[in-house]
Amino acid sequence: MATRKTLAVGSAAGFSGDRTDAAAPVVRTLVARGGPAALIFETLAERTLALAQIARRADPDAGYEPLLDELLEPILAPCLKAGIRIVSNFGAANPAGAARRIHAIARKQGLRAPRVAVITGDDLSGAVHRKLLRDGIGASFDSLDVVSANAYLGAEPIAAAIAAGAEIVVAGRVADPSLVVGPAMAHFGWAANDWERLGRATMAGHLLECGAQVTGGYFADPGHKDVPRLHDVGFPIAEIDADGQCTITKAAGTGGCVTERTVKEQLLYEVHDPAAYLTPDVTADISEASVRAAGRDRVSLSGVRGHARPDRLKVNVCHEAGWLAEGEISYAGPGAERRARLAAEVLAKRLRPALEIRVDLIGVVSVFADDRGRLVKATPAGDARDVRLRVATAHRDRREAERLTREVTALYTCGPAGGGGVRTALRPRLDIVSCFVPRAAVHAGFELVGA
């Protein structure tokens, strides 16, 4: 095979709720650069899919990324014109619904109908899959109130969809790096067992999957790690060669920076054993990896290896898990910390034994602490003069959880002196159990959908 040109892959979202103005500068840069290119949006955290499944129950047309229009409208026309493939998991619980919406957006903008592919097979929430999930999770599965169950699919169906002519690939649950590996496989014609190349492209995908986290977002620490124009941080672009090696850069004319330090932080993000970063596609190995600056806002990654992919696929089963109740109240001025601590005692005495509460003294000790209150107890009372007391609890029964919000509100008249600014929240909780299922039990594929 002739050596194919470098593939440029831009990233325009790192989670559901990321900036919707990120994509345009990335696409402008890809267009100006010329040559083959793809654009990914990663919008699916573990819980996002369960929330999408709930939305779909209420409205059969819903259940895909709620910001889909805002994400796509600014860039759909230039991507179609320049042949930039769009690959995303923004289908969430309803990829077919997202595909219909994309066609509607194209019509509204007076564009021709794009060729959209929907990735299928990840959704295991149907009754037919119950036995499979029970085998994976065990008997505790029977007591779960399941909201969603999705297997992490890999790059193969994405690559196949692109090879079949798809301009936009809409997936639900796929492994985040596979959003990049898929278009690279299709472009370079890599085999599904080309572990070295898949391993390298997987780490390119890993560097892109969190959007600005590799270009100076989530990085600044003034005086130690300064980032220029953080308010306008640009999103990343990976230039991937035929061997899967990549150079990370970013959208032209934007803030942020790509340095060896930003790339190292993201390279190790959510990595456990560096020799075995597992995805459905490959076991990537960064134990011998290194990064090297290759010009302004350009960093090359090398030394990544790949080993055979895992035999089984990971499945996340999301289930209902009762209620989370939270309440906050502020104390300031002389004795503020003592008054906040007294308020916490009042709440604990009123709510026990049915409810155990977590106590945070914001401004004294909070997020570093633990739910059991060990660190708060070990921190002797001091004289902080501006303290926000925050308490939280969880319970299966909504009415029981709600007692916390009522008791925090009652501190206005029944608690220590001078408390103000009560805020309370009561939310349903979702929890996730993961299991592994045989690859053969999951039927990953794609469908090209008409306009």
Partner 1 sequence: MSRKTTVALHALAHGRTGDKGDRSNVSLIAYRPEFLETIVAEVTEARVAKQFAHRKPRSVKRYVLPKLGALNFVLDGVLDGGVNGALNLDAHGKSLAFLLLELPIAIPAKLVPLLSDSKTSKIPRRRKQ
Binding residues (CB under 8 A) for partner 1: these are 46-47, 218-219, 221-225, 261, 264-274, 286-291, 303, 321, 324, 358, 360, 366-372, 374-375, 378-380, 382, 390, 392-394, 429-432, 434
Measured CA to CA, the distance from residue 249 to residue 231 in angstroms comes to 18
Provide the minimum distance between the beta carbon of 429 and partner 1 in the complex, in angstroms, as a whole number. 7
User: How would you label 55-85 residue by residue, b for 16+ Cβ within 10 Å and e otherwise?
Assistant: bbeeeeebbbbbbbeebbeebbbbbbebebb
- Residue among 336, 335, 333, 361 nearest 347 (CA): 361
Instruction: Determine how many CB atoms are found less than 10 A away from the CB of residue 182.
Output: 32
Q: Which amino acid is at 97?
A: G
Minimum distance from residue 49 beta carbon to partner 1 (Å)? 13
Task: Supply the minimum distance, in Å, between the C-beta of residue 288 and partner 1.
Answer: 6
Which residues 6+ apart lie within 8 Å of 351 measured at CB?
357, 393, 403, 404, 407
**432 or 451, CB closer to partner 1?**
432
Please state the closest distance from residue 415 (CB atom) to partner 1, in A.
21
Contacts of residue 436, Cβ cutoff 8 Å, sequence gap at least 6: 136, 310, 312, 313, 314, 315
Q: Which is nearer to partner 1, 270 or 345 (CB)?
A: 270
CB of 163 closer than 8 Å to CB of 188: no
Closest approach of partner 1 to the CB of residue 371, in Å? 4
Contacts of 73 (CB under 8 A, 6+ apart): 105, 109
- Nearest distance from residue 224's CB to partner 1, in Å? 6
> How distant, in Å, are the alpha carbons of 88, 100, 297 from that of 118?
10, 10, 35
Single-letter code of the amino acid located at 182: G
Residue placing its CB nearer to partner 1 in the complex, 135 or 273: 273
Using the structure block, give the residue that is written with the tokens 């299922």: 437
Residues 185, 273, 299, 17, CA torsion sign = positive
Select 192 or 271, whichever has its Cβ closest to partner 1: 271
Please say which residue, 21 or 260, places its beta carbon nearer to partner 1.
260
> What's the min distance (Å) between Cβ of 163 and partner 1?
32
Nearer to partner 1, 31 or 362 (CB): 362
The distance of closest approach from Cβ of residue 309 to partner 1 in the complex, given in angstroms and rounded to an integer, is: 18
Q: Which is nearer to partner 1, 21 or 270 (CB)?
A: 270
C-alpha separations of 433 from 46, 134, 208, 312, 436 in Å: 11, 12, 26, 16, 10
User: Who's near 322: CB < 8 A, 6+ residues apart?
Assistant: 394, 395, 396, 397, 398, 401, 428, 429
Whole-angstrom distance, CA of residue 33 vs CA of residue 23:
15
Phi and psi, residue 147, nearest 5°: -100, -45
Q: At its nearest, how many Å lie between partner 1 and the CB of residue 384?
A: 10
92 vs 184 by CB, closer to partner 1: 92
Kindly tell me which of 414 and 425 has the beta carbon lying closer to partner 1: 425
